[in-house]
Amino acid sequence: MKILRKPSSPDSDNADISREIPWKLLVVDDEPDIRTLTSLNLRGFEFSGRPLQIIEAASAKEAREMLQTHPDIAVALIDVVMETDEAGLTLVAHIRNELRNLMIRLVIRTGQPGLAPERYVIDNFDIDDYKDKTELTVQKLYTTVRSALKSYRDLQTIELNRVGLHRILDITPELYNLHRDKLEEYFQGLLMQIIGVCNLGYSGMISTIDGLVATLEGKEIHVRAGAGDLADDETCAKRRNEIIELCSGAVLSEKFPDQLRQRAIVVPLRVKDELFGFIYLESGGELSEADRELIQIMANQCAAALDNFRMHHSLEESYEQAIDMLAEVAEFKDSATGAHIKRIEEYTRRLSLELGCGAEDAAAYAQASRLHDVGKVGIPDNILRKPGRLTVEEFEVIKRHTRIGDTILRRNPSLALARSVACTHHERWDGNGYPDKLSGTNIPFVSRIVAVVDVFDALVSTRPYKSPWLPEKAIEELQNESGTHFDPAIVTAFLQLYQRGALEDLVACSRGENL
């Protein structure tokens, strides 16, 4: 993996500095001459490759307004005596206690130390330095501001790393839940870690290359994580899209494009010979060899995470394909229940949501429900398709489909939920079901859901051995069986859905066998 960067030149470096985000210094003093002199003495100031922007306030009240307008102020030089004898100290308390701004470095600068003794101020106010105005020569002012900015930068690095690490740790356990938004959150954390550890400033991006990261069925994975003026919002969209296009071309051709900023670097995300995307970073200064090695290591982690994500995504697709295949087998065996399987899936999804399940769980339950009757592939056709009522012996044969389904699905651990449904959806709340006479909450939750929707759909549908029931009669049957055959809470939720008209399309489909 090769880091792409533009060869540096003195002229281009100087041109590039003006585009860097400046450090912001707030000068709070009611004496215009002091503010002017401060600006003159710090003219041309630069720290870590970034210039200084001086913001002036003639009072504590005006300073509060500036802090609202510029929440990213790095350092404030604050006079004590302004509107009142303690206006500056009150401002310090406001910044720390009300704004909860613990990052900004606060330097008290007073011409009347008798009104604000140094020890008293340091002991009672959260400041970072105390200076008598008579002390602040040009050199001392330079040193004070530079030290304060260094402290601010280091605190930023710690905070970026803290937030980035928190994002990574928070998302990592869920990374393989196969959701793109989780993956983006994970990469957002990694990006913040890289920027923080290497003191790169604010701007950066991690992105996949459109069309190059695909899953089994050709579905593309798109990832975007941005920071600073490359964050994921509308105001940055134009520049972000331009950089995506330039960086995509760069990692494919291994040539750094001239249109990117001078100190920018592009790191391909590659596993072996396969390219996934890139990391784009903007640096305020030249990177050390240690920084480059660190970026390389974290880029490798990004690429590996993308590769793992894609493999897990493909496994999920394979699981879905296995479900579809087995459901089709059951449908071919008993064509009368083909559309029934599809309706059961949708009934289960809607009822799960009604019962308070999350969308992810509801989708998993719905998918598992498709295999509730897969065991019928082992039932003889003359019994399965018998147009009349079954004998006791024949019904005992039909009951075997729960055990057969369990046997078919037990070989694959990823089908555990579907296996549970196939085996237990004929258990009864009162313990008189089959095959194991489970009762109450000992019956898996998803199987209790499928039991209700399976019976309802069977009642309102045409079968070789019966005509369809009216929906109202089927609802009455569910109510009669609530607490004996069915979980009462699930019947109640089903009735709520039915009464709201949320099942009308599925009931209508039971007549035409189309969904």
- So which residues are the catalytic ones? 376
**What secondary structure does DSSP assign to 111-177, as a single string?**
S-TTTS-HHHHHHHS--SEEEETTT--HHHHHHHHHHHHHHHHHHHHHHHHHHHHHHHHHHGGGGGG
φ, ψ for residue 265 (rounded to 5)?
Answer: -130, 150
Computed from CA positions of residues 185, 189, 194, 195, in that sequence, does the dihedral angle turn out positive or negative?
Answer: positive
CA distance 104 to 95: 9
CA distance 377 to 422: 12
Q: Which two tokens stand for residue 435?
A: 């095959």
Q: Are 37 and 109 in contact (CB under 8 A)?
A: no
Q: How far apart are the first and last CA of the chain?
A: 50
> Which helix (H) or strand (E) covers residue 44, if one does?
none
